[in-house]
Every structure is written in structure tokens, then in C-alpha cells.
Amino acid sequence: MAASLLIEDVDAAYGAVRALDGVSLRVDSGETVALLGTNGNGKTTLMRCILGLLKPTRGRISVTIDGVTTDLVGRSPEDIVNLGIAIVPEGRRLFPRLSVEENLLLGAYRRAARPSIPRHLEFCYEAFPRLKERRSQAVGSMSGGEQQMVALGRAVMCAPKILLVDEPSVGLAPILVARTIEKIAELKEKLGLTVLMAEQNFHQAIRIADRGYVLVHGHVEFQGDSPAALGDSELVRKFYLGL
């Protein structure tokens, strides 16, 4: 199973506000790519463009899954999810009054994912034993770290090939950030996923990323072909590491 994502020269705007400016990047099959950038630089906007929630004003977004290339621009979010693309959204967007299991099951609405519901639920509970213990608990009464696990589990319930993760570290204590990042790497390995992860937390992101891009004002300002190359970049040192 091979799945890759290609973004070519994408512009996007909210009315008169230009949010993406000629963004090009790729995520090859089986890679974990970090999309780095501080607040307001366009990370979420790019995720929204990939998922069909915002239409780029220019450029091309395509995925190649098992040798078949599909253009995403102009397709509905439902079609895009059905191709095998899932997101763990910024702020998690869970249903606080519903139980853990109900939230997980809501991730399996993708048609192709329905037959595998029991298998994926089992897999989720194996990856997150704590969620199994808490399967009947209302999500709103759980800790931030546990809620992030529910959000990750929900994304996996739709049996994706490409996983988008938007700022998993937001709102979590440092120890939970580290655990969440490790879980993403574990899920990726077990499920053979291709991952694009937006993060502001440079140190945590490069623990699991193969490569990365730095977005500044909606533009890719730097591309690092390894975590070391990212750490050596002047831009990263200045903006993220305070050096």
C-alpha cells in the first residue's frame, strides 16, 4: 500500500486575506513530514485545502494511492476522506458529551471503513489501553492528553492511508506532548501511514519527522531534508530555538 501527497504552487485566501502563497511540498509514501511554523503562518489553512474545506485560488493538490493519482482541488471533503485521508484537527474537535467509544465510532463514517469497524476499534483499544478502560466515559470529562488520544483513535477508525495531524501539542503539558508524538509514530509504523504533521513545537516534531518545511507568512521559507538540516537552519534557530 503506497500513498503520497503532492502540493504544487498553492495559493489560498480568506477574502482579501492571503493565507498561502505558492506553497509546494510533498510527502512521499511512508514518510512523516513536519509542517513547521509559528501561529498564523498558514499551517491549518494548508490542511483545510488538502481536505477540500477551503478551495485554493491557484495550484494543484494531488494524492497517489496504490499507483492511482487523484486531483483533490474541487472535490468535496467527503470524497477526499473516502480516498483514505484523515485528519486529527487542531483543538481536537471531539464531542464532549459523547462517550469515548461513540467518538471513536464517529470516525468510521467513511464507507470503506465500515466493514473494518470491529478490527479498528480493537486496534484503537490495543494502542490506547486507557481508552478501553474509559470507553463509556464522556470525553469532556477526560484530561487533555486522553482527549488527544481519542482524537488520534478517531482518525484511525476511518482506516486512512494518509494522516494529517494539526498541532497535536496544543494545550498539552510537556510530558503529554512527548507521549502524543510517540503515539503518532507508533500508529504510523503499525498502520503503514504517510503523515503530514503541523507543529509549532520544533523539538517534539523533529523527534519523529523524516523531513520538514517551515512556513512563514504562508510561504515555504525553508525545506530541511533531515531533522539535522532543520535544526541547522538559520530561520529555525532564530524563530524557534532563540539562538
Ligand X SMILES: Nc1ncnc2c1ncn2[C@@H]1O[C@H](COP(=O)(O)OP(=O)(O)O)[C@@H](O)[C@H]1O
Q: Which residues bind ligand X (CB under 6 A)?
A: 14, 17, 19, 37, 39-45
102 binds, among Mg ion, ligand X, none (CB under 5 to 8 A by kind): none
CB of 228 to ligand X, least distance (A): 24
Q: Among all residues, whose Cβ is closest to Mg ion?
A: 44
> Smaller CB distance to ligand X: residue 159 or 198?
198
> How far apart, in Å, are the Cα atoms of 12 and each of 77, 225, 233?
17, 25, 26
In the sheet that 68-71 helps form, which strands lie side by side, from edge to edge? 17-27, 3-14, 58-65, 68-71
Handedness of CA 211, 214, 220, 224 (dihedral sign): negative
In the list Mg ion, ligand X, none, the entry touching 129 (Cβ below 5 to 8 angstroms by class) is none
**Binding positions for Mg ion, rule: CB under 5 A:** 43-44, 90
* Smallest distance from ligand X to CB 224, Å: 18
| Distance in angstroms (rounded) separating the CA atoms of residues 38 and 200 | 5
The alpha carbon of residue 27 and the mean position of all alpha carbons in its chain are separated, in whole angstroms, by 12
CB of 186 to ligand X, least distance (A): 25
Least spacing, CB of residue 170 vs Mg ion, in Å: 8
The three cell numbers of residue 167 are 498541532
CA 227 to chain centre: 18
Identify which of residues 63 and 215 has a Cβ nearer to ligand X in the complex: 215
Contact 45, 81 (CB under 8 A): no
Q: Which is nearer to ligand X, 43 or 161 (by Cβ)?
A: 43
